[in-house]
Amino acid sequence: MANLTRVPVMAHVVCVCTPRAQREKIAYDRSSPSLHWIAEVAATPSDHQHYQHVMKKQRQARRKIIRQWTALPREKRQSVDQIAAFAKTAAQQNEDAFVHGRRDPYQKITAWLLPRTGRS
């Protein structure tokens, strides 16, 4: 965690949703008529923002892989063996999009391509 300044607080604390508060993660004391600064954390992307970025990369990779698969001639996308070979190379080419996933990239790609086997 970044530099955190701790100040004793007796009342309820709430995060104020202003652009500066979101950017710097500032918390204020709600009980006071004027907002008193309690703690400030150096600006870092939140876990939610990081998750959104990772998911965006995976969605982009998924679209790209499916486009490449459907661009192949129909006779080259008929069998499970062809899916396996394609998924292996696609996983290697797009490994940066699957860094944070729990499932094996090969399994994900295979699951995306199975319903599209043999379709035009």
3-class state of residue 105 by DSSP:
helix
pLDDT digits (tens, 9 = 90+) for 12-53: 444 444 555 554 555 554 555 555 444 444 445 577 788 888
pLDDT in tens, 61-88: 999 999 999 999 999 989 999 999 999 9
**Residue count of the chain:** 120
- What the block records as the tokens of 48 is 């939610």
Domain boundaries, the chain: 1-43, 47-116
Q: Would you say 80 and 44 are in contact if contact means Cβ atoms under 8 Å apart?
A: no
Q: Which residues of 55-64 are buried (b: 16+ CB within 10 A; e: fewer)?
A: eebbeebeee
Measured in degrees and rounded to the nearest 5, phi and psi for residue 28 equal -125, 155
Question: How far is residue 102 from each of residues 30, 84, 92, 98, 107, measured CA to CA in Å?
Answer: 40, 19, 16, 9, 11
